[in-house]
Amino acid sequence: MGPEDREWWREGRQKQGHGASWDNFKAQPSSKVSNVLRIQRPLKLATATPYAQLQPQQLIAPRLNTSRLLLILGVVAVVSLIVAAFLVI
């Protein structure tokens, strides 16, 4: 639908007495609706920081403990394999 078609449609609606949609807009609520049910929501409580919002330093710290443990286990495994190989020969 091109710009000419939109203008033709708008002019046809104006001839029929229809105004633009923004002419009918009212920022104030209509007086017809008086008893609107408002939902009372609970106050937002403080929540734990999501994973995506953690600082890089906070993300790396747990990994360092894990990597140190794996490093120690790896060194112990390699030393034990060397000792076992030396005893077998």
Q: How far apart are CA 15 and CA 83, in angstroms?
A: 98
Question: Given this model, what pLDDT does residue 49 score?
Answer: 58
pLDDT digits (tens, 9 = 90+) for 12-43: 888 888 777 776 666 666 666 667 677 787 77
CA distances from residue 63 to 53, 55, 79 in whole angstroms, order as listed: 17, 14, 24
Query: Is pLDDT larger for residue 4 or for residue 56?
Result: 4
pTM comes to 0.32
pLDDT digits (tens, 9 = 90+) for 50-83: 666 666 666 666 666 777 788 899 999 999 999 9
Q: In the chain, where are the structural domains located?
A: 57-89
Question: Given this model, what pLDDT does residue 62 score?
Answer: 66
Q: How far apart are CA 85 and CA 80, in angstroms?
A: 8
